[in-house]
Amino acid sequence: MRQIIFSLYGNCLNSGQRIIWQNGGNKRKTNLILDASIGQDPLLRQRLTFALGAWRSTWLNNLVFAAVLALLLQPVIQPIALAWWILSVLVVNSGRVFIGWKYEKNGQPASRYWYLIYAVSTLTSAIVWSAGSMILFPESSAKHQLYMIIVIGIIAHGASYHHSSSPRLLAAYLLILIPPSAIKILLSSNDQIDMTLKLIGTLILLVLALSAKRMCRTQTETMQLKEALRKMANIDSLTSIANRRAFDELLQKGWHQAKHRLQPYSVILLDIDHFKLYNDYLGHVNGDRALKLVAGAIRDSLERATDQVARYGGEEFAVLLPNTDAKGAKIIAEKIRNKIVGLNLEHKKSPTSNFITLSIGIATREQICSNMHCRQLVEEADSALYYAKSSGRNCSISYPQQFSRSA
């Protein structure tokens, strides 16, 4: 399982990853607490972010445009029919707001079928608009047909923004909304209707629908670009794990969370033994390859979605273990150490072993005092790592000085 840091817009488009953290911007946007996000599929969360945004704003948009259309059609359509139609728009969209509100209220999905509910309510709204355009179609006035087409086009255009993260939902929405009005206006049998106006109306509809599609694509591209930038800022380009910057942020957040929840928190620092000799003997290209393999092996040793690995420095790595006591951290450290030995990466020049090995320092706070800073824990892990180095390397040491050697 790969781990990612969830960004402001929830815009990770890769599936198969899991959220390990959400930043403040995302929390404000979705109003979801961290617990509701951790371990979730970011693609799903991205849809959720848009869905919640849509729920909030489309209620007003739909009602405003329904009212505008009713006013425009009022000279040619019976007021009672217009009133019924506005009422249906109000009921369907209020239902969507209610679902959204219920979702947000709990800070987590009210139902595991939430996306289905959202999609159904969205398509119901499209049906109401589409039915409205058929029932209220002003057969006798080309001018009013044009008004209707423009408003429907604007609604289609707006929908494309909110559903840009769900192309299939958007396609279904546009299919329900646009063809009925387009067919109706083209097949209209009233002789008085000017053919030029018919064509202009259909053209406007098409242009708005196509621009909606383009907008959807542009937005997806923008999101992908933002995701790429986010990765560049937080991911180490050589090893593809979190970089030092991401580590600092994750440490601070994890620390505050552990303090708040009265949970233990552990930090492990890991350093490749005699890596300079490895580089000097085999060259930097092989050194880079070894760093990648070691990073991957450390990442694969972590089981919980909340455990995080980062490249701390050149040949130094760090592991953050929320809700993990000293005993648990020691087990993980040894698991990683053995895994690296098991990689059998030959290191002929190492005075410690014929293979690449790690020295590991561990520090834990079983309970975090209010005046303690997380940097102190990292310093303790660093002292333990120093101990491990001076105790012969290829071992893990827990601060303060719980020596354990194997191999």
Ligand X SMILES: Nc1nc2c(ncn2[C@@H]2O[C@H](COP(=O)(O)OP(=O)(O)OP(=O)(O)O)[C@@H](O)[C@H]2O)c(=O)[nH]1
| Span of 95-103, 121-129, 208-216, 276-284 interacting with ligand X by CB under 6 A | 276-284
Q: Which is nearer to ligand X, 23 or 352 (CB)?
A: 352
How far is C-alpha 322 from the chain's CA centre? Answer: 21
How far is Cα 210 from Cα 44, in angstroms, rounded to an integer?
26
How far is Cα 380 from Cα 53, in angstroms, rounded to an integer?
44
| Position 387 contacts ligand X (CB under 6 A) | no
374, 347 Cβ separation under 8 angstroms: no
Q: Which of 66, 68, 71 is nearest to 91 (CA)?
A: 66
Q: Which residues are catalytic?
A: 315
Give me the helices (H) in 136-194, please: 142-162, 167-187
Binding ligand X (rule: CB under 6 A), the pick from 10, 287, 322, 361 is: 287
| Position 274 contacts ligand X (CB under 6 A) | yes
| Position 398 contacts ligand X (CB under 6 A) | no
Handedness of CA 99, 100, 105, 110 (dihedral sign): positive
| Position 291 contacts ligand X (CB under 6 A) | yes
| Span of 30-38, 205-213, 259-267, 282-290 interacting with ligand X by CB under 6 A | 282-290
| Position 284 contacts ligand X (CB under 6 A) | yes
Give the nearest distance from C-beta 150 to ligand X in angstroms: 59
| Span of 150-158, 166-174, 222-230, 280-288 interacting with ligand X by CB under 6 A | 280-288
Instruction: Number of residues interacting with ligand X: please give it, by CB under 6 A.
Output: 15
Give the nearest distance from C-beta 240 to ligand X in angstroms: 13
In the block, which residue shows the tokens 């380009």? Answer: 237
Binding ligand X (rule: CB under 6 A), the pick from 2, 217, 276, 375 is: 276
Instruction: Copy the structure tokens of residue 159.
Output: 């929908």
Q: Which of 133, 139, 135 is nearest to 192 (CA)?
A: 139
In a 10 Å sphere around its CB, with 0-12 CB exposed, 13-18 middle and 19+ buried, how is residue 111 labelled? Answer: exposed
Q: Which positions from 308 through 327 interact with ligand X, judged by CB under 6 A? A: 314-315
Site string for ligand X, 113-142 (x = CB under 6 A): ------------------------------
